[in-house]
Structure 1
Amino acid sequence: MNTKRFYTTLILTLILSCFALSAQSDKQKKLEKQRQQIIKEMKQINALLFTKKKEEKSAITLIEDLNYKVNVRKNLIRITNEQANLLTREINNNQKEITSLRTQLQELKDDYAAMVVKSYKSKSEQSKVMFLLSSDNFQQAYKRLQYIKQYRAYQKEQGEAIKTKTKELQDRNIQLSKQKEDKKKLIEENRIAKRELEGELKQREVLMASIKSDMGKFAAQIKKKKQEADRLDKEINRLIKEAIAASNKKAGNKSSTGKFVLTPEAKKLASNFEANKGKLGWPVSRGVIKAKFGKGRSLTDSSVEVNNPGIKIATEKGAVVKAVFDGEVSQILVIKRGNPAIMIRHGDYLTIYTNLSKIFVKKGDKVKTGEMIGEVFTNKIKGETLLGLRIYKNNKMLNPESWLTKF
């Protein structure tokens, strides 16, 4: 066996294996983090939406809650499947590596055994001395002496290589056993999740059947809800334009630029707000995002497309609303046939808290992060407590979910 070539091949194999394992390990960690986040969300959903008596909620709200839960459950199953599939690939790769390692280990042992036999046959010091003395000249004797030293070193290297390769093989076997156990656990958890999903889908079918005769009434409720949302959107857009125009006028600009004109203090506040993206505290102590930002499907009717300007957080009755960051109360919005809202300015950023029952602040108040500013409205007919949260930069809508820290 060519020692140099063998060790070069061995090193390259180890490096490539490490890179592949590292990439797979990183992906597995990322998937596991997502899975744990969804499991946490499922616990919050059960605690906030499914602990009350069904009689306290309208059928339409129950359907919305079930659809939301079903969507989250499906996402959990999908992530778990991805993890199981990735583990299958890792297990197959590991089994191939183990087969290769066993072959390499056997080659090392065979090579080492041959050297031991050869060394035994020429083990006497007299043989080594005669080998040196039979040299034709000093240079040849020197080369033969170096050869003896190199041969001894090579024997030692082969012995160490056998130890290393044996340890690597043992580690791979341990890793393989763990991977198989992890996969078994994931498959079992997915089996349970699928059973839960089947039960939820049947429950939804029963609910849908119970409201079939009242679909006209529910369609009217959905239409009314959309009209209220449109009025709120219109009023918020108007107030944002007014606030921007006022900041321009105060700065001496005759025509509005469509952006807030900032003082040095406001610039610093906006910069700090921006630096906290993904780290802002939640506006309620407990909650789950029942309606996500942007385009999506209605939780009541999946054939209906909705476009949310913010997020809706399902929380508990009597939940207190807290400011997510330092700022100044820019407006208290009072909507006709709707619930009040609070607009807080953070430089050229705005946070808007909608569907409130109580207001604890007034226009012009300076608020601190985590300060209580109001209370969420609970709809007694629907049996739900939903807080709306919007974030704007100037008049541009942003996704609040990407600004909040993970629960």
Structure 2
Amino acid sequence: MTRDLLEEMFRVAVAQAQPALAVRQHLPARPEGRTVVVGAGKASAQMARAFEEAWDGPLSGLVVTRYGYAEPCQRIEIVEAAHPVPDEAGFLAARRIMETVSGLGPDDLVVALISGGGSALLPAPAAGLTLLDEQAINQALLASGAPISVMNLIRNQFSAIKGGRLARQAAPARVATLIVSDVPGDDPALVASGPTIPLSGTRELARKYASLYRLDLPPHARAMLEGDDNPAPEPGEAVFASNTVTTIASAAISLEAAADLARRQGIEAAILSDSIEGEARDVAQVMAALAREIAYRNRPFPKPVVLLSGGETTVTLRGTGGRGGRNSEFLLALALALEGVEGVSALAADTDGIDGSEQNAGAYADGTTATRLRRAGHDPLALLAGNDAWTAFNALGDLVVTGPTGTNVNDFRAILIR
């Protein structure tokens, strides 16, 4: 019953972020000239299909999504590429997208359909860098534990398409960007590293972050970061003045839908934040402390209550060969901190349906998880130390598997205290 309720809350949250509904409600004004659709991200194919079905005029375009995430479209070409480490298919797609928006006039409209994952799906290394360099940069960032805002600022330094460069290429055409946000705080410039929106943040700041997180960058990238090549567009440039940006789906909207479901079941819901960042296992310690306070002392929220949160935690890789993602790592750390506490259960999952390296969206845990793991012959502390949370929850049959959901508004966490 408890697990069923948590999984239903997750389904409701995902449904609220589906592009089919959100795109139709935010169509831009028809242009006098051509309509060209481009896009990138885990939800971009679903967004393209929804836009194509809702648009009553001629259009053409190209959108790139993750392998396995394509949707059938009639007028918009859908291509697939690798995520989270870029590949040749994404490299070629990024080049074609830049060509697609070239040579347009002031009466034309570019509709940019952008969602999380677009950074990896649009590899376009700046002059002097190669695809291998961009792959190495991405791998270094993924292993660093840096928050998404830092990763995107650093990626922007090495790209020919990110940080507003795609929109600058499209000028003088008007650009209308529709965003399914997967970043804490919903800053649109951070989603997919903002191909149509200039990022704030200087080259000097990117250098400081690269040093702080001890990034092992390839030699050509290090040299570029130390110099002034490939300057990023500035937010105030006139070329962006007529463009529009609309966030059509986000974690905040999805968490409200999950809270409404809980309240209809007679359970109060507390939305702690839709923009939590930090190391997954550290966030778990804070959440566990709050859950224990409620379980033992009935404060600061009276039972029964479900604690809801979103955002994007990070995982710093400490070992090799571990399997899993940030949500399963969060849950394993939470389960260890809540071992023996009765009446507390939790679900954490990525709204795109894939948590990290495997095919599960997330997992389910409660106060018995760590004990059951030991009885099954596994050491939960060792699994956590090796970033191997998938093995833990797979052994217990507690993985949550949905397959690709068609959207991406980042992490969903629900902790129920009865």
TM-score bin, normalised by smaller chain: under 0.3
Question: Normalization by structure 2: what TM-score?
Answer: 0.21
Greater Rg by CA:
1
